[in-house]
Each structure stands twice: as structure tokens, then as C-alpha cells.
Amino acid sequence: MSSPRIIFRGNGCAPGDFEGEAVVSSRPFGFWQGIDPQTGIVIDKRHDLCGTSLRNKVFVFPFGRGSTGTPGIFLEAVRNGCAPGAIVNVKSEPMIVMCALLAEAFFKVQIPIVDGLEATPQDVLRTGDRVRVNGSTGVVEMLGPAC
Amino acid sequence: MHLTDEERRILDGAFGEPQRIALSVLLKLGEAYGADRMLEITSAHVVGSSYQIAGEAGIEIYGQLVQQGARVKVRTTSDPGSIDFARWREFKTPADYAERQIKIAELLDRMGVIPTWTCTPYTTFNVPKFGEDLGWSESSAVVFANSVIGARTNRLAAYVDVCAALVGRVPRFGLHVPESRRGEVLFELDPDLSASFEDYFFPALGYLVGQVTADRIPVIVGVRQTTFDQLKAFGAAAAASGSVALYHMVGVTPEARTLEEALGGRLPAERISVGRREIARTMEQMSTGQGGAVDVVGVGCPHASIDQMRRYATLLRGKRVHTGVELWICTNTMVEEMARRMGYVEAIEQAGAKLMVGTCHNDCPLGAWGFRRLVTDSGKFAYYTPTTVGTDCIFASTEGCIEAAITGRVERR
């Protein structure tokens, strides 16, 4: 059975090219007090992803919310190899974009971020889908559905 | 993005690696948000001064920058640290934790950051003027600088603030653009509410405004008279419960001499009436858990001014903090020194209260205390305490906080 390959176009907010498994939530997310930077696991008890690992995942959620201290936690996760591999948002708040740009500048790790797709990402992507995100071209490809 | 010759040379590395890295981060940020050019800033304020925020990643970044000879190019002040540098043992801070904070202090020193260790840099050492562009991060300071002073800054992230400081520039987008500073959500206060505004209404109103506004720009109509400290408390609460970076208070803040000016001549996207019922409902949401015995009382968030120190001293004179209760007043060394000269510190300490200087309850590791219930007059503390300190939190007026410290009990309003 040939798997469908669907291409979505949006805006590249932070550069990089990453392919991995999607983790999808329809709720906003804050990294500050939202993840354990030692493991990449969501620790925000009020969030539907609590207990899920974001490590090397394509993290799909509507938008970020958060304190100006967000890079503290985010970069700690990057340093430990436990950050998401890519991010797809409806609208990326500058705080998240700044985290990715800092990761590239100081830890040589690119975490592509794309927003503004023609479709709502959390509706067209499912947790477990194989997804490729290019933060330079703004292209998000669904390579294969969750098994 | 249009770059000047000097900016091109910075990106080519002509002024060293720290400036090259810093400008490349700011350039990409500007490109992501449609900036047309860079703006020169008059000052920066950095939030990654606290070990709680910066962690080991921060020490690595600052260490790398210092090794490459980084120096800030504009006046730059530090946000609170995660320890009271003079009294960390008294606050039961683990020694290895204090050591990491001291390491950050050394690195910031070497970059030329002014060690103010305060969230209210705008009261001293870093006082912007109307219309100036800044590179600030601390959310309560950003909202004050934009709203009360009329300076212009986006909410920068930790380390991006350092990038701005190293090159003295920020990309021109968001709140640096006058057309993006127009109010969007209108809050109309009932006349009977604004006629009898008490101090504690301001953090409660800010909390409510932040919840409704999220990251938009609110306009508040119906506040007639306010003090500096009331505006400080209002903004800090709105920036915590929402991510408000700018508000307009008609007749009070400089870009809101009239309602029309505050809205930039447009209609608001949303109109909300606020009366006693809405304030009461918000105050209910600002507390968690039940009333009862109190472990710890926290005032001075954002850091207490000299006026607030006088008030605490007056309320505490001749009184005694209840056995087993900690009353901590958070402020900075500048205010501490003045309060000492004026006899306020003596009155506060004689009553058994403590000054917590250069940090606060939410920035310090307090695990060793085993606190269960914190009482505060701060909307920002009320928002963050259940997660940062991990205790229940009861919101009360300033008098209510001091009263709770003296009696050792608090009731939910």
C-alpha cells in the first residue's frame, strides 16, 4: 500500500530540516515549567501531553505561551539532547522562535519552526505520523500516517 | 532586512565573535517577524541573571561569551538572582546552588552588566525616557517601561536580551513600531468601583486584564488616580496571567491622553465591563486551597519601593511576627540601603520580619523550608507560586498580609 505524501506550505520561522515522528496537541504549550529538561518529558499536570516525551519529536501545537525565562529550560533540554526536533505551530510566538535561534547560535543545534500553514496543523497531523519540517522553505511534509 | 555598513561588518566578525553571534540571532528574529531594519537601543535589562532561569546552559553560554571577550555595548542591568547574596544561608539555600549563582554573577560582571539584581531597574540605574527603544526581558519591567514610561521594547527572551546588549540593537518589529502599539481590548470600569479603588484592586484588575487580553494590548478606562506602585502591581499581574507587554490607562499613561489616542482611532476588538463582581471573582481565582495557618508571607513583588518599605515599617512597628511564620519583604540593595538609613529596616527586623534582597520567593529554592501556605499581595506571586514554590497561595491586601504574619492565620476572602 503506498502511503500518502501530503505537502503543506507555511512560513519558516527558524531554519533547519528535520524528519521525525509527530506529537500533536490542540492546546497551547509553555516550556517554562512545562517539560523536564533532563528527559524531554512533559511535566505540566494541566496539559493533555503530561507524561509524553518531546525528545526528537516533531512537536505540533497551536501556539506557545510563556515566560521570558523560557530559553532557560529549553536550552537545558537542547544541551541534554532532549529537546523537540522540530516545531509546527498555527502561530509561533517570538519566545519559542528565540529559543530555536539561541539553540543554533550557542549549541549548534537547528530546530526548524514553521507556522502559518494553509491547514490547521493539529487537525491534519496525528501523533505518530512521520513528518518532515523544513524551517528555511516553510514546507511541512506528511510522509506517512501513524501505524 | 536593511543592514548598515557597520552591521554588515559585525556579521563579518570585524568586532569579534560575541557581536557576530549576537547580531545573527537578532537578524534571524527580525526576519521571522518582518522587521525592516535594526534599531539602536539605549539600554538592556537581562533576565537570565538568575540560576533558576539560566541553569547550566546559561553558565555555558555566558562562559563562552566571556571567553571570547564579550562586553555589553549599552547600559545593561541584571534581574534578580536566585539567592540573597548576603543572606543565602539564612534562607536555607543549598551551598552548591549558591555557588552556581555566584558563578553567573562573576560572568555577568565580566561582561559589564550593572549588578542591580532587581526586577524594577526603572526606579534606579536604568531609567528610560519616553520613545526610547530598549532591549528588555523581565515581563513586569517590560510592561512598566512600555506602558508607564512610553519607551519601546518587545518581551525579549533570556539570552536574546544579552545579544541586544552586546550589539546595542534590536530588530524593528512589534512594539517598536508605533502602529503596533494601539489598544485592542477595552476594559470599562464601573464608576462605583473606580471611586473607591483600594491598593489590592490593582493586582486583581491586572490579573483579570491579563487573563482576558492574553498577548493583545488592553486599554483601561475609569482609573482616575494611581500611584507608581499601583501601576507597577497592575502591570506585573497582567504580564503574568497573560503576556501583556503594553497597556494603556486613559488619562494615566502617556500614550493614552484620550481614549481615541489609546485605540489609535480604531474601534476595539472587544469591550469588557468590570465591576465589583468581576474583581471579586478574579480574587477568588487568585487564591488556591483553603484558609488556615500560615507558613510564609511574601510582599515586595515586584521589588518594594521606599514608599512600600515605609508602609511595611508603619504596619509592623510595635508588632511581632507570629512564631513559626516567616514574613519576607523582597527588594533590592538600593532601596534596602535607603530604608536602613530611614529606620524602616530596624522597625521591620525588630518585628521579626526579614528583608530578602536581590531575589524573591519565586526565584529561590525553598524546598528546605517545607512551606504549605503562602500569603501575598502580589498578582504575579499569586500566579506563579503554586508551581514555583509548590504551596497553596492566598491573595490578600498588603494590610491583610501583615495581619496574617502577625496572627499566623489567614482566611480566604
Tell me the average pLDDT across A45-60: 94
Cell numbers of A103, please? Answer: 539553540
Residue with grid cell 496543523, as numbered in its chain? A121
- Residues of chain A with Cβ-Cβ distance to B387 below 8 Å are 33
Chain A nearest-CA residue for B23: A105
DSSP-assigned beta bridge partners for residue A133: A18, A140
Residue of B31, B78, B155, B381 to mutate when probing chain A, most A C-beta within 10 A: B155
- Could you state, in chain order, the average pLDDT of each consecutive group of 10 residues for chain B (413 residues)? 98 98 97 96 97 95 98 98 98 98 98 98 96 97 98 97 98 97 97 82 96 93 92 96 95 97 96 95 93 96 98 97 98 98 98 98 94 96 88 95 97 81
Chain B nearest-CA residue for A116: B32
Alpha-carbon distance values, B194 to A85, B1, B204, B210 (Å): 50, 46, 13, 19
Domain holding A110, by residue range, is 6-144
- Residues of chain A with Cβ-Cβ distance to B21 below 8 Å are 105-106
Q: Is residue A39 part of a domain?
A: yes
Using the beta-carbon criterion (under 8 Å), do B33 and A94 form an inter-chain contact?
Answer: yes
- Residues of chain A with Cβ-Cβ distance to B156 below 8 Å are 68, 98
The answer for residues whose C-beta is within 8 angstroms of residue B193's C-beta and 6 or more apart is B201, B222, B274, B275, B276, B279
**CB-closest option in A13, A75, A94 to B57:** A75
Residue with grid cell 517570538, as numbered in its chain? A94
Q: Does B357 touch chain A (CB under 8 A)?
A: no
Q: Does A103 touch chain B (CB under 8 A)?
A: no
Provide the pLDDT for residue B412: 84
Using the beta-carbon criterion (under 8 Å), do B33 and A99 form an inter-chain contact?
Answer: no
Q: Is residue A50 part of a domain?
A: yes
Q: Is residue A1 part of a domain?
A: no
CATH number at residue A138: 3.50.30.10
**CB-closest option in B55, B139, B214 to A67:** B139
Cell numbers of B143, please? Answer: 510592561
Q: Does A101 touch chain B (CB under 8 A)?
A: yes
Give the separation between CA B115 and CA B108, rounded to whole angstroms.
Answer: 8
Tens-place pLDDT, residues A25-40: 999 898 988 899 999 9
Give the separation between CA B124 and CA B334, rounded to whole angstroms.
Answer: 8
**Is the pTM of the predicted complex or chain greater than 0.90?**
yes
Q: Does B101 touch chain A (CB under 8 A)?
A: no
Q: Is residue A111 part of a domain?
A: yes
Q: How far is B155 from chain A (nearest CA, A)?
A: 7
* Phi and psi angles of residue A17, each rounded to the nearest 5 degrees, phi first: -140, 120
Provide the pLDDT for residue B93: 98
Provide the pLDDT for residue A2: 55
Q: Is ipTM > 0.90 here?
A: yes
Q: Is residue A25 part of a domain?
A: yes
* Domains with residue ranges and CATH for chain B: 5-173 (3.30.499.10), 182-285 (no CATH), 287-410 (3.30.499.10)
- The more confident residue out of A146 and B105 is B105
Give the separation between CA B73 and CA A59, rounded to whole angstroms.
Answer: 37
**CB-closest option in B21, B56, B214 to A76:** B56
Q: Is residue A46 part of a domain?
A: yes
Provide the pLDDT for residue B194: 76
Using the beta-carbon criterion (under 8 Å), do A68 and B57 form an inter-chain contact?
Answer: no
Tell me the average pLDDT across A106-110: 97
Q: Does B180 touch chain A (CB under 8 A)?
A: no
Q: Does B174 touch chain A (CB under 8 A)?
A: yes
Alpha-carbon distance values, A94 to B94, B157, B168 (Å): 34, 8, 19
Q: Does A66 touch chain B (CB under 8 A)?
A: yes
Q: Provide the pLDDT confidence category of residue A66 given band limits of 50, 70 and 90.
A: confident
DSSP 8-state code for residue B178? G
The percent of chain A in helix, strand and coil, each rounded to the nearest 5, is 20, 30, 50
Q: Does A68 touch chain B (CB under 8 A)?
A: yes
Q: Does B255 touch chain A (CB under 8 A)?
A: no
Q: Is residue A100 part of a domain?
A: yes
Q: Is residue A90 part of a domain?
A: yes
Question: With contact defined as beta carbons under 8 Å apart, do B354 and B330 qualify?
Answer: no
DSSP 8-state code for residue B42? S
**CB-closest option in B25, B53, B56 to A102:** B25
Using the beta-carbon criterion (under 8 Å), do B139 and A105 form an inter-chain contact?
Answer: no
Residue numbers of A annotated as active site: 67
Give the separation between CA A62 and CA B380, rounded to whole angstroms.
Answer: 25
How many structural domains comprise chain A?
1
Provide the pLDDT for residue B224: 83
Helix (H), strand (E) counts: chain A: 3, 10
